[in-house]
Structure 1
Amino acid sequence: MERRKIFVASIRTFCLVICIFQFYLLTRNYLRFDVRKEVTNYIANEIEIPEVRFLIPYQFAFDLNFLRTKYKSSFDAICRKFSDKDDCDGYLTNSVLFTKSFGHLLPLSDIAEHSYPVERFINKIHWSESSEDPLETGKCEITKKASASYLVLVLHCLDSSGLPLKVSRSRAVVFNSNYLLNFRLNATVMLMKLVYPGKALVEDSSLHTFAITNKGKQPSCAIRFTKHTENLLPPPYKTMCKNYDRRQVFEECLNNKSLTRTGLLSFATAVPLDKHTKLHFNSPYLNQNSSALEIYEDCLALVTQPMCNSVRYSFQMSTNLQDTASGNEQIKFHFMATSEPDSLTESKPDFPMFDYLILTGSLFATWFGISIMGQLISVSKLLCLTFDQRSTIDVESLNKEPVTRTRCWT
């Protein structure tokens, strides 16, 4: 009898250990918060137009007479530094270095008041949707921003909901020779970035190209792009995303800390011209000190988490030169439909809570189900024994004779 009890206790202990171990494995796998990614490639008929930024060196964004008159000593000194000529009427050997050395001297008020108007650079846009100019209808807008080195032209096309404007792929292919939109940039030298909202400046991997017009030649840039959308999961999942605009947080941090410590705007940002009108930018060359590095690292620490919902674009650009009359040099841009598919990447829990609850419930149901069966058997045996005992007493009281007991369970 004692051996039987020990054997039963051993079986119960073993079953309990197995149950606890299985529950531990389920819980451990759930608490790892692993993520699996599902990628969907698709070709949408409605193509989203990204934000485009043109960076115009300040040498070509102003009337040189104004710059030479108001900033004569600095202007002449910088010209002599980067050119063998005594003045800057001609092209400089390195206009990018010139504008980086000169741009931080300009207050935002002068940039807003004396830089060329937007219409001088881009006065009309043609697109595939209709013959109307989206600049006139308000569907596309061009705004000016300022940085320490460049006048920044921001072209963004939005619908009535404030989302990026979409144009028809079919109409572009059938009616407009595959062009989504095209326009001419009236600038001698420019840098171009096709950016997507939300990327922090430190890791901006958007297309960054340089173009310059030569006398009697007109560059023509054909740009094809595809959209890549990624949706991540917030903590505690391993993607650890955050709902914020990385670019905005990063640039605001740089400017706020720079204004607090130096009284100047950060050279690594671009700001609207209607803000900080009397302020200057830090110089990218004179700012190599511990304070600038500390500010940069502090702000960088704020944007380490990826965004939960982000969009990026991949670009391909081809350029060719066309002959044109002297004095009519412009840069032509054609945004074209591409046959490459867009992509949607969605992060999903590898072991979601719903599955965890189902498997845990099944586990406990299995083991507790066995225990309940055992309890029912015990109750049945007890009832049988009680019934047998009462039947024996009744028979013995009537016959006064011993009666053989009948067992309910064999």
Structure 2
Amino acid sequence: MTIEPLALDLTGVDIQGENARIRARGPVTLVELMGVPAWSVTDAELLKRLLADPRVSKDAAQHWSAFINGAVTAEWPLFPWVAAQNMFTAYGADHRRLRKLVSPAFTHRRTMALQPRIEELVTELLDKLATTAPGEIADLREGFAYPVPIQVITELLGVPEAMEPGLRVCVARFFDTEISPEAALANYIEMGELIGELVAFRRDNPGDDMTSVLINTRDEDGERLTEKEMIDTLMLVINAGHETTVNLLDQAIFLLLTHPEQLAAVRAGEVSWEAVIEETLRVESPVAHLPLRYAVEDIEIDDIRIAKGEAILASYAAAGRDPKVHGETAEVFDVTRTNKDHVAFGHGVHHCIGAPLARLEASIALPALFARFPDLRLAAGPADIAPVIGFISNGHRDLPVRLTAE
């Protein structure tokens, strides 16, 4: 008997509940993304195997039948996610070439060199939050979780101040899976134009920033990134480097404030901030579902066959709560958990190159926030704090808090 695909809720109002329903259908099951079928993988070990399997590609132009035969066009709202030409969508030798060209911008030295600036930014934001009138509600997503990573990533890329507001609007739209296909395509084009302006600016005004590094980096054969690869790579860095860290900070704050006994243990030094960060990444992956991958050839999984050319959806948030890995308490936030294994930053050759930077930002921002405001608490019931719109990004629309005691 053929089972109808489960149509993913585009609003993302109950991502974890929906993940449980997907998992109940099996470790890999068919879902529908805005009219497009894909195999959702919720089993953590299976997902890792597939992410590291050379029979699984991220290049739609080479390996997705629906893209190749024209069934998926620019009218599909997620088209920008699959049509870009950068590390995110590259496969095999092409991916290795692109990653090698981009890696110099993400060295350990460059990442750690950002620490003083991140500390400075965090202090500035906390000083601003401290001016909140007594009793007034502050939004920590807008006033803290959002500005830290977007400022870090724009400075890392060497974005001129005048260009920052436009890019921030484009990033917000990129993760909104409820906008119309026309709006999604227009946003993709607008963001590409802004990044093109950035590249042109840095060619004339080179600096010690990622854009300048990418412009000047060559491989051993003297090859550089093409203009489209350059623009799409920078778009990837801005989108991925910003949204994931916003949600990591947002979810960590929310989880600690809704688990006061665990927050107390962290404050007492009984649990490390690293444990908080990794458990947050596990139980509330910043990216819930990441489109898309494709079967290069037929892949047999038990009694399921993912046919050559079919799409695969990496369901990171579901994999982080896999009971086969984390037992009966898989859905419980527990900073003392011994095994905090997760795939929030991906796995295999496409593991997020910016993961160390995201962890660094969180390791600076979170302890500073809770040290500055020891009486910090939510200003609304947990159930009343709505999630962001969409099935990709996993965070809250706002994070209302009271900073001080009454």
TM-score range, shorter chain: under 0.3
Larger Rg: 1
Q: TM-score, normalised by structure 2?
A: 0.25
Where relative contact order (Cα < 8 A, 6+ residues apart) is larger, the structure is 2
| Higher helix residue share | 2
Q: TM-score, normalised by structure 1?
A: 0.25
| Higher strand residue share | 1
